[in-house]
Structure 1
Amino acid sequence: MPKRWFVLCLSLFLCLLLLSPLPSIKPIPRRLYDVIRSGSAALDLPCDCDSGRPVDGAVPSTCSARATSRGPGQRVVSYSLFGSARNNGRATGRFEGLFAENAENIKARYPGWTMRVYTNYKPEIPEQREWMCGMQCNHSHVDFCLVDRLPGLGNITGLQNQGRMWRFLPGMDPLVDVFLSRDSDSLILDRERAAVQEWLDSDFMFHIMRDHPGHYAYILAGLWGAKPHMDRELMANLTRRMLFHTESKHRKTFDQEVLRRVLWPATKDRMMAHDSYYCTNPNFRGPTYRPFPTRIEGRLFVSYGPRFANTKRNNRKCPAKCRPPDHQDWELC
């Protein structure tokens, strides 16, 4: 008897289920299938050009599934891009406008490197998704890292809402061997590339540059780099400490203050510095200093960008000790 009742109830349930109207189900766009199979559909930027890209990896990137697909040993030029409510969630043209040009500059001057953009732009907003997908699809070496949904990290904006700090995050990505932190409104120049190459060829883990009288800072947030592969535990710990740092959070120079307080004391003895003006300054003792290997061209100092186009050219002579020994005639370095 109990078995008969069970069969009858099951039959009635199935009849009701079949007669009930089906809910409306929206089809999943084909371009998302590969990401969904990876288990990170909500973490990635859905662009048509990524359809079919393999994303499985034994070790995931903390940026995106697209970044994971590049595998280990990545070399990254890292940027922050953050919008504001005053501009409909977009950054101003000064900051957004140079990304396409710098993508080409990176491709030419850092072949094989990836350009990473850590951003609070949202793919759910069509205008923002269109711009980001345009960048990724037109430049195969560009990855966007969505800071409100980073793989393994989640939404970091509650922990660190200062967008300038996000570009330091490659320091805790297990797939990144080398990264450079750069400003979104500065250009990548040959002078920078030559200095970076000297550092890459060295055994120093960290690198900084100062190339203008106005670069009076321990570490400029857009002119430093690191080789995490040399000591991943150290690099990850320093990155975490910088992200957790909240003192002076609302100052414009917050990112450089954090670098001074956290990174500088822990790394200055493992650091190469290219410096045109402060190579003998006692406040900046610690790193091993080098002159820039190429002569400055016009006003094109490292970190130059269009914002300096209408400013007066720097004519201050650099100290003789900051010039190459065999080029003491380079008075402007």
Structure 2
Amino acid sequence: MAVITSREEKEALVKQLLAITYQHSRRKEYQQARDLALEINGILPNIPQVLSDIATYSIFLQDWVKAIEYALLCISIEPKHINSHDVLAHAFGALYDWEPAGQYGRKALELRDEVSCANNKVPPQLPSKISLKGKQNIISFSLYGASPDYNETAVLNAELVDEFYPDWRCRFYVDETVPQSTLARLEAHKAEIIYATPEMKKLPPTMWRFLALEDPNAGYVIFRDADSVISRREATTVEEWVKSGRRFHTIRDSGAHTELIMAGLWGALAGSVPQFSQKMFTYVQTTSLHPRFADQFFLRDYIWQYVRQDLYASDRLFGFFEAHPITSVGENYDITHIGCDEGGYYKRIDLNYEDGQKLTWRLYSQISPLPNDDLSPRYIPERFICEYEAVVKDRAVSVCVPKRYGDGLTTGKSRLEILVAKE
């Protein structure tokens, strides 16, 4: 095999290897992607994008130390490399090292704002404020698919809204993939269901929830992810925003919250962005959409310039944009934080069944949807929570339940029942 020595030959090889690296990344094969990126760095050392890629793959692998190592190396070469500041905020946050997490996260936000302002020399004009008389405040979600890691936390939100947001109503934008049993449970808790039309389906599902801003009957609207669960601490920040009289609200409570607008942690007075849906359709028609972050990138590119003119920012870490602190009452990062994914508690159940056997699993729990004020579990008489079908693979099934119920599986306060599905 010929030895590659020239710069041109090395660059050609690196280009080929990078393409393979990104294929691994798209398949979520982050270990293979990082191994190959490290090999690339050995061929042509210290290319900022490659260093940033190594740091990013390390985040997915939860290798916080290596993520920090390569992100720091990247910004030593390219000080304004935004993704590397994101990585540092995320990794230091994961290590509970909040001072550098705040430092690097603020820098990431400032750099993004700098780019946004450079691309928008003249700020867009804000419309007149609507009257709130007779308006309904809305917590808007997108919900699609039959997975329990979104469906069950969606139900938790509907169960808790009267406790934390007594003057608000949950609204779910859904399609036909959501089980009827989920929709019935949501409606039992007075949630509003909006079915996606063919026109709406031209948008990424995560963006359906933004359509609430154009509802003529809406007042204040907040946007949340279906896999995070509302809390008293969150509601306190929303109340502070409403009292401030500002049109827009953002929340940041984690080292990973370094996008200008977190798609599931912002709010607005309805009507505050003119032609909102038209902007969304323009975006999807003219942009190569990111498979995961299309909603956040849209907000950054099309909406931030409105938001930054009249913003009440709630921020535990970064102090970005004259941010207001978030109350420490009900704060315990070991248990949860505002915007935390609470849906993905997975448990493998080993079974004495052949692969391919269809089963039904049922979850029962003595844990209330409503925790105590210190976030410890509140206990109630055992109740049936949910049931889902599964198929045996490798003589086991994987069960996904909300974290607050999943914690009970280790303490005996929750239990699973496995039934053979009837043919």
Deviation at 1:288, TM superposition (A): 3.6
Query: Which is richer in strand?
Result: 2
The structure whose RCO (Cα within 8 Å, separation 6+) is larger is 1
Q: Which residue of 2 is the match for residue 301 of structure 1?
A: 337
Q: 2:193 pairs with 127, 144, 158, which one? A: 144
Q: Which residue of 2 is the match for residue 181 of structure 1?
A: 223
User: Could you tell me how far apart the structure 2 residues matched to 1:182 and 1:118 are?
Assistant: 12
Q: 2:236 pairs with 180, 188, 194, which one? A: 194
- Say whether residues 1:79 and 2:119 are aligned partners: no
What amino acid is aligned across from residue 258 of structure 1 in structure 2? F
Q: Which residue of 2 is the match for residue 277 of structure 1?
A: 317
Alpha-carbon distance change, 169 to 292 in structure 1, aligned in 2, over 3 angstroms: same
What amino acid is aligned across from residue 288 of structure 2 in structure 1? S
What amino acid is aligned across from residue 319 of structure 2 in structure 1? C
Within-5 A mapping of 1:77-226: 77-83=139-145, 90=146, 92-121=147-176, 128-136=179-187, 138-140=188-190, 142-148=191-197, 155-158=199-202, 160=203, 162-226=204-268
Deviation at 1:130, TM superposition (A): 4.3
Q: Which residue of 2 is the match for residue 238 of structure 1?
A: 276
User: Could you tell me how far apart the structure 2 residues matched to 1:116 and 1:98 are?
Assistant: 14
- Structure 1 runs of 4+ off > 4 angstroms? 307-310
Deviation at 1:266, TM superposition (A): 2.0
Larger Rg: 1
CA RMSD across the alignment: 2.2
What amino acid is aligned across from residue 293 of structure 1 in structure 2? T
User: Could you tell me how far apart the structure 2 residues matched to 1:206 and 1:133 are?
Assistant: 32
- Deviation per CA, 1:138-187, whole angstroms, max 9, x where unpaired? 212x0110011xxxxx63213x1x10001111111000011110000001
User: Could you tell me how far apart the structure 1 residues matched to 2:200 and 2:276 are?
Assistant: 16
CA contact (8 A) 1:238 1:262 kept: no
User: Could you tell me how far apart the structure 1 residues matched to 2:311 and 2:170 are?
Assistant: 23
Gaps spanning 5+ residues in structure 2: where?
A: 1-132, 347-423
User: Could you tell me how far apart the structure 1 residues matched to 2:242 and 2:172 are?
Assistant: 22
- Deviation per CA, 1:272-307, whole angstroms, max 9, x where unpaired? 111122214xxxxxx441111334224321112325
User: Could you tell me how far apart the structure 1 residues matched to 2:200 and 2:344 are?
Assistant: 33
Q: Which residue of 2 is the match for residue 37 of structure 1?
A: none
Gaps spanning 5+ residues in structure 1: where?
A: 1-70, 84-89, 149-153, 281-286, 311-333
User: Could you tell me how far apart the structure 2 residues matched to 1:116 and 1:198 are?
Assistant: 22
Deviation at 1:193, TM superposition (A): 0.9
Deviation at 1:243, TM superposition (A): 3.9
| Aligned residues between the structures | 210
User: Could you tell me how far apart the structure 1 residues matched to 2:333 and 2:201 are?
Assistant: 40
Normalised by the length of structure 1, the TM-score is 0.59
- Deviation per CA, 1:165-216, whole angstroms, max 9, x where unpaired? 0111111100001111000000111211111110010111000001111111
CA contact (8 A) 2:150 2:343 kept: no
CA contact (8 A) 2:135 2:219 kept: yes
- Say whether residues 1:267 and 2:267 are aligned partners: no
User: Could you tell me how far apart the structure 1 residues matched to 2:299 and 2:135 are?
Assistant: 25
Deviation at 1:135, TM superposition (A): 2.3
User: SS of the residue aligned with 2:228?
Assistant: coil
Identical-pair percentage: 26
User: Could you tell me how far apart the structure 2 residues matched to 1:112 and 1:207 are?
Assistant: 18
Q: Which residue of 2 is the match for residue 36 of structure 1?
A: none
Larger mean Cα displacement after TM superposition, 198-207 or 294-303? 294-303
